[in-house]
Amino acid sequence: MQFPSPLLQIRNTATRNTKLQMVQGFRSRKNPIKYSTINMTCVCIRAGQKAEDKFDPASLNDLLPLYYRRLFPHLQFYRWMSYGLSEPSVFTNREFSFTLQDDIYIRYQSFDNQSELEKEICAKNPSKIDIGAVFNVRPKDHRASTVMKPVQRELVFDIDMTDYDEIRTCCSEANVCPKCWKFMTIACKIIDAALREDFGFEHLLWVFSGRRGIHCWISDKVARYLDTRGRAAVAEYLNILISGGEGTVTKVNINTDRMHHAVKRAHRIIEPYFEEICLVDQDMFGTPNGLRKLLAMVQDEGARMDLDKKLKPHEGDSKAIWKAFVNFFEARRITGKNRNRKLRHVVEEVQLALTYPRIDINVSKGFNHLLKAPFCVHPKTGKVCIPFNPNVADKFDPTQVPTITGLLNEINAFDEKLSADGETERSRIKDYKKTSMFKGTVIFEEFLRKLEQTFKGKAILASDRKMEF
């Protein structure tokens, strides 16, 4: 027996009032789910169909009310944005923006407390929530203010997979697969290490963007209060890639005898992945165009011409070409022909150029840049912008990120399985714990726990000082 798509049923057969009843019915924890259009999803899962394949962008506006009422972590989100109310107006002066149906964009939203924010989210059901800066005045009063300026904002990093299109061969544009996700794994490891070891930042939240990229939010107080120049300095420090523009290859130039310690650390992270990613998964040098790009990274024209002759016999074989490339420059080093500083670190330069994180530097520099909030649902893929652990980023699979459809299916299946145990037991379990969103929520909770310890420590210290005589 073949079942029709439950989302198609909702869209085609339900009136607006019926949809509202379904939302209210799904919302109620005391009321068992009795709507056939929702229950049909459980049948589909039992039949072995993947929830990810069931998402239909046209159904998003019907599903968001359920998601925001049952799954979105409103309390945890407020805990993050309020920073324990450790600073005056840190929450009330924060800008939020909502993107609504038909791309209606509402900026300069601000709220007095968690209840007000949650109420507005559940009333408007935005397809996207963006987080902005904390201003010197309440953003909702911006028209009445003559001088409105940002005073703090998390330092953020945005890495988009489309910036790897010149080198990845498995996918292009908005598509992402486990093979090209390995570039993101390297990006996480390099940036996370640099931010922690070189700048001393501790409170980093890594989030999958829902489609083709990752975001890093640094919430340390010193990071939040960096001005534009400070943000630019951090971003420039992490940006070692040189782009010559469209039609040229991205390069790295190490024009010193000794590599900077941050570059050396990045290379140590990259090296174990290089063969697997560049030579096997992406087969970067297996085509004439790939070979041309490799040769273009050699800055010395004479060496480039000699190298071309050495690589010609290995055309079509990325592994053989790379081995010949490394051997060529090793032989020059041994014979003393590598005195040219441009060629001293050419092997490391190529490895870095092909795998180093491609940061959107303007996002990091911008003090007032809006960035999509964690736990939003991407309107094209239906996937949740879920936090992940950078230390095990290589185990994260972007193709298996839960979709809004899959999550609601999981709640329904869980509740149905426990229906024999009675309503009381089912109502005690939080909805996110019934779904594959649980792991991402736990990572967010752990991030908040460590962040909040800094506020509590300061509060205890302030209290102790008051007790001094």
The catalytically annotated residue of 62, 95, 118, 163 is: 95
CB 385 within 8 A of CB 409: no
DSSP assigned state of 429: S
Supply 379's token pair. 């309107």
382: nearest Cα among 399, 363, 370: 399
**Residue 326 neighbours by CB under 8 Å, 6+ apart:** 347
Return d(Cα 184, Cα 197) in angstroms, integer.
Answer: 20
CB 173 within 8 A of CB 135: no
CB 415 within 8 A of CB 41: no
Q: Compute the half-sphere exposure of residue 243: CA atoms within 13 Å on the CB side of its CA.
A: 14
160 belongs to the catalytic site: yes
431 belongs to the catalytic site: no
SS3 356: coil
Q: For residue 104, report the phi and psi dihedrals to the nearest 5 degrees.
A: -75, 125
CA distances from 120 to 51, 372, 375 (A): 29, 17, 16
4: nearest Cα among 30, 62, 43: 43
The catalytically annotated residue of 118, 160, 163, 349 is: 160
The catalytically annotated residue of 62, 130, 154, 158 is: 158
| 358 CA to centre of own chain | 13
| 396 CA to centre of own chain | 12
102 belongs to the catalytic site: no
Query: Which active-site residues does the annotation give?
Result: 95, 158, 160
